[in-house]
Structure 1
Amino acid sequence: MDLITLTKDNFNNQLQEEDKPLLVDFWASWCGPCRMLSPIVDELAAEMSDSVRVGKVNIDENPELAEQFGVMSIPTLILFKDGEVVAQSVGVQPKADLITMIEENSK
């Protein structure tokens, strides 16, 4: 499963596209913690593709999306289900915690 590069142009379409929840990683290239979290997000995209879609928003290129969802610190992960925010995580989190967040909010 490939990661989805999300922009202001495709975000709403991706949000409504499938019945699977969408995990969105808000990040920036200059952010050290974002670089630490990125491989974990990549693993989640590969390992959990049956239950969740994973996308990334570069906040430098899409500041309006970060503003729309109140992203004040990065990395921030937001899980959407049926177009609504159902969970949020700020900062670098262990992979197991992120899996739990996805599983508990995807039912």
Structure 2
Amino acid sequence: MTTFDDRESAFEAKFAHDEEMQFKAQARCNKLLGLWAAERMGLSGEKAEEYAKTVVIADFEEPGDEDVIRKVTADLEGKVTSDEIRAKRAELLPIAKEQIMNEAAAG
């Protein structure tokens, strides 16, 4: 292999790793949002965890975050606006990224 091939392989590996970390951070953010919403619905423990999983799964319906926002907005039945949910998700994303990075460093 040439130095160029080595660099190309390293770049591809870094890109794949970064994409995986971003995917994990988005999923963690959605879980945290689900736990936050569950609390507002009066759910706790296992029921809150189960609800949070449904929020994570909702993100696979379409690209972007709007599928998650729609689900949580509907589930909260007018208790919180879509804009408030977007703001909460934006607040939770850096927390999720930090958690993922700490887990990667520890693991």
**Structure showing greater relative contact order (alpha-carbon pairs closer than 8 Å, 6 or more residues apart):** 1
Greater Rg over alpha carbons, structure = 2
**Does TM, normalized by the shorter one, top 0.5?**
no
TM-score normalised to structure 1 length: 0.29
Higher strand share: 1
